[in-house]
Amino acid sequence: VKDRVDVLHTIGGDDTNTAAADLAAYLATNGYTLQVIGLPKTIDNDVVPIRQTLGAVTAAEQGARFFRTVVADHTGARRMLIVHEVMGRSSGWLTARTAAEYVRMIERTEFPSVLNQSRGAHQVHAVYVPEIDVDIEAEARRLKKVMLRYGSVNVFVAEGAGAESIAAQLRAEGKAVPVDAFGHIKLDAVNVGEWFAKRLGAALGAQKTEVQKSGYFARAAPANLEDLTLIKNCTDFAVHAALNGESGVVGNDEQDKDRLRCIEFSRIKGHKKFDVSQLWFKNLLKKIGQPVPGEAEAAAAARQNAAAPTDLLTKASKL
């Protein structure tokens, strides 16, 4: 107020931008007008209703590069499990996209036919995100076959996958689970990657288990071309919005045909869930041999419906 600032540009996730909006509202009640124009930067890509947040695509690409390097560690050990923990408390988008980027990367790479250096040994074998409940026993049975075939298993897991269930289990054991200032479970307390590593490692008979976290590596990288293009489009729009007296968060509005616009602060929310029904994600799971959520149930229902007319005819003939 003292410096007569009348336009504030914020860069961050939903908390950063909505807090700035609260500041503007407070100043307005005290007779001071402040425009707030936010830019949505979070690698989790979990801001409602924004299609793509700044930095998310780069982080996925860099996370894939990170794992491409550390996965080579399994060539020095037999029966090895590597758990790649990816950032994402409430949304599995970054984990899924990182896995997809990594799969594309190894598909362009030539591998020798030696058992633990083959393409299959380098492949992603499981992707666990918060939006999908994991049947750990069923997955252990599936991944045990992978271990027998390739001598290694690679799992990508979001840092928030199963966090609530793990926290509930810890509380049942009489252990305290700390929360942060927003009431969220402190993820380092539940340690999702370590939890999956211990349980899968024991079930698979892994002789060596590692948990590798790509978070800081991925988030610190310079923006790639796709992100640079998005950043330029958003910042250019933000300047014009400021000149036109608008306030809001600049992004492609999923609820308005992906139009780039200044989205009202009242509509900005965090913890957007990743849509696991998207075709690219389903294809990724099929490619790595992981069951697609809901497909088995849908197939069973289809078989039941197909059999129904026959059953009715049989009953009618008996009558």
Give catalytic residues, as residue numbers.
44
Write out the H or E segment, with its range, that includes residue 62.
helix 56-70
Token readout for 78 is: 């037999």
Write out the H or E segment, with its range, that includes residue 202.
helix 192-204
Collect all residues with Cβ–Cβ distance below 8 Å to 209 and sequence separation of at least 6.
80, 81, 82, 83, 197, 198, 201
DSSP annotation of 238 = H
Cα separation, 218 vs 60, whole angstroms: 7
- The sign of the torsion formed by the CA atoms of 98, 99, 102, 104 equals negative
**Cβ(246)–Cβ(43) below 8 Å:** no
Write out the H or E segment, with its range, that includes residue 217.
helix 215-219
Backbone phi, psi, residue 48, to 5°: -85, 135
Separation of first and last alpha carbons in the chain? 87
Q: 148, 94, 101, 87: which is closest to 121 by C-alpha?
A: 148
Q: 182, 216, 209, 235: which is closest to 18 by C-alpha?
A: 182
Q: 189, 201, 241, 288: which is closest to 36 by C-alpha?
A: 241
